[in-house]
Chain A
Amino acid sequence: MHLVLFLIFGALCVGAAINLLAQKHPINSALSLIVVMGSLALLYLLLGAEFVAAIQIIVYAGAIMVLFVFVIMLLNAGEEEVLPHSSRVAVSLGVPGLILGLAIGIWVISKYAGLDRISIGGPRLLNGTESFGNPTSLAKLLFRDFLLPFEVTSVLILIAILGAVVLARREE
């Protein structure tokens, strides 16, 4: 049952991602990306991380993608032009297919060479008994075990905001 649901939601995610590449109008691509975010949230739910799923919807699908849609609306982005001698199928499936092939190849090689036992912890830091998706476990990881990366990421985002403000400012 779990596998069936995973396959359905995974197929939804991949289908929306391919649709994102295949659409000509950018607004349709943005909406496909929203469907991808939504299906990721569903996959988190399948893993038992309901808090992370809800936050994924609120932050990613509900705020970040709204900003993407704003940009597309405000810039009045038109439909994509297709060059006369190119094939849209090759363009939209070519690069992702290449990356997917590389990823599978690397995974197979690392499994057979025994290189896949490296990990930073995460769920294993919680003694493997508690579930890792609820707010308590997330808080322990974020604010206790990984506090420094969390604070550094905040500073990084602040730098990005400052950069955007400087770049977008009108010259007085």
Chain B
Amino acid sequence: MSIATYILVSLIKIVLVVFVLLTGVAYTVLLERKVVGHMQNRWGPSRVGPFGIWQPLADGLKFIFKEDLTPPYVYKPLYLLAPIISVTVALSSIAVIPFGPWINAGGVHTPLQIADVNIGLLVVLGLTSIGVYGVVLAGWSSNSKYSMLGGLRASAQMVSYEIALGLSLVGVLILSGSFSLREVVDAQSGTWFGFIPKWNFFKGQFVAFFIYIMAAYAETNRIPFDLAEAETELVAGYHTEYSSMKFAMFFMAEYANMITVACLAAVLFFGGWSGPVFGPPILRDILPVLWFVLRVFIFLFIYIWVRGTLPRFRYDQLMAFGWKFLLPLAVANTIVTALVVALR
């Protein structure tokens, strides 16, 4: 494939993925409001279109027309930089996630992934680590006590749970033998006895999966770990002093992180895009992506379900949980997985 074709194909993929991701972010917000609403025995947004379908459009318009005010006492450079870091990092980590197998579209043989780097998993972890700066700089530069405390708490929480997150994925790495996300999915193809799929979850990584899910909820600052931005505790935490588009960027970053976490869970523990494939060639290309989207949707639903159900942790409970429970459990999981693989 020539370099010009490669660049063109990559550009098309980037545009498609970003478009789908941003639409997904907007509609995940709607999904959350509807699901949480129904769990609380009320309709969510239902006025703006049939079943509230155009609500995200109305929200977007509202954000655009709101006054974008910058308080005079903030430290301007970092105040403006923080949402940029948050949203850039959140939208970038989708680049290494594989959505489907190699396809032949219009004579071009290309993978359904923007960048198949051989350290894909580390790229996601690295971007999550940089995302902490969005939070900590927002909290500090806003020059107000709620923001400062919220920012400190949120970033301490994110740094602590990053370790458990990374360690829980080492078991998956040992089983797959590679950091590249596409190879992790390929190592999960096939079935035992013809019907139990060889997903990493069934290969013994169920403990790792639960550690990953809990650490990911803490990384994305979602209930039950959302003390840093809880309305009853800290006004709005690190994004108190932000209005209109900059606040919308933090919001987008949070939901984009949720979607990335759900995609990673599908790729690392549940076989990515494996599922029955049948029919004419065009259907054969699209069905794996649909199976992938089904998994992502299930994980997003679980995210929202947990949000509607659980109360939030107190801060000391949260830190103790991360350091004294999840971290030793993740280390134990690593040791057991390594022993099993070494003695096989």
Contact = CB atoms under 8 A, between A and B. Distances in A.
Interface of A: 27-28, 31, 34, 50-51, 54-55, 57-58, 61-63, 66-67, 69-70, 73-74, 135
A43 to B, nearest CB: 16
Nearest to B130: A62
Nearest to B141: A27
A54 B125 CA distance: 9
A90 B199 CA distance: 62
A27 B166 CA distance: 28
Interface of B: 75, 77-78, 117-119, 122-123, 125-126, 128-130, 132-133, 136-137, 139-140, 148, 151-152, 155-156, 159, 162, 166, 179
B126 A57 contact: yes
Contacts of B133: 34, 66, 69
B126 A73 contact: no
Nearest to B125: A58
Contacts of A31: 78
A63 B129 contact: yes
Q: Which 6 residue pairs spanning A and B have beta carbons closest together?
A: A62-B129, A54-B122, A57-B126, A73-B140, A58-B126, A54-B119
B152 A58 contact: no
Chain A, interface SS category: helix
Contacts of B126: 54, 57-58, 62
Contact of B119 (A27, A50, A62, A66): A50
B122 A73 contact: no
Kindly name the residue among B75, B117, B125, B130 whose own CB sees the greatest number of chain A CB atoms within 10 A. B130
A43 B136 CA distance: 27
Contacts of A55: 122
B159 A63 contact: yes
Contacts of A73: 136, 139-140, 148, 151-152
Contact of A70 (B78, B152, B162): B152
A135 B173 CA distance: 11
B30 to A, nearest CB: 32
A54 B123 CA distance: 7
A51 B119 contact: yes
